[in-house]
Amino acid sequence: MPALTRVLIILCLSAAAILAWQSYGDAARRIIVSSCAQLGWLAPRTAPVAYSAPEQQRFDAISVDLDAIRQIVDRIAVTQEQITRNVDQLTIGQEQMMREINKQQVAEQLNGGKNSESLLPLPPSSPRQKLPLSAQTLTERSDRFGGNGHQ
């Protein structure tokens, strides 16, 4: 029990010291600085720091640059929101397509594959060699006109 009492006393004294420092901090700093010169960094600053003209110009230029960067970041945030909306729309579209595909697959299974051509019409496939696109186009055109695939 005595240990708990000591802890509570220390906590109360600490709270009182914090409240006193907040209320009388500047006066306390002056007293500390006047008694010990090594703690001069605790002294409150009375006047704001004045900058020379070139330094002030640099600060102004930095301020303008920061404003430009903020605008760019804002534009990037807007673009990112648009991209997020587009991705959400694409995801919704993909989910709808998957539901439709699943419906068609279920319907095909229920029909026993009888009307599968009407569900997904596929062009007739013929065993052909992989030709470059231009050669495939020429071959398809000559097949349509009764040729043998060569000119």
Tell me what pLDDT residue 16 has. 86
Coil, helix or strand for 113?
Answer: coil
Task: Count the residues in the chain.
Answer: 151
Count of helix runs (H) and strand runs (E) in the chain: 4, 0
Phi and psi, residue 50, nearest 5°: -95, 135
pLDDT less than 50: residues of the chain? 116, 118-120, 122, 125-129, 131-138, 148-151
Positive or negative: CA dihedral 15, 17, 18, 24? positive
Residue with tokens 């694409």: 90
Q: What is the pLDDT of residues 101-133, one digit of tens each?
A: 999 999 988 887 665 454 445 455 444 445 444
pTM over 0.85: no
pLDDT at 103: 93
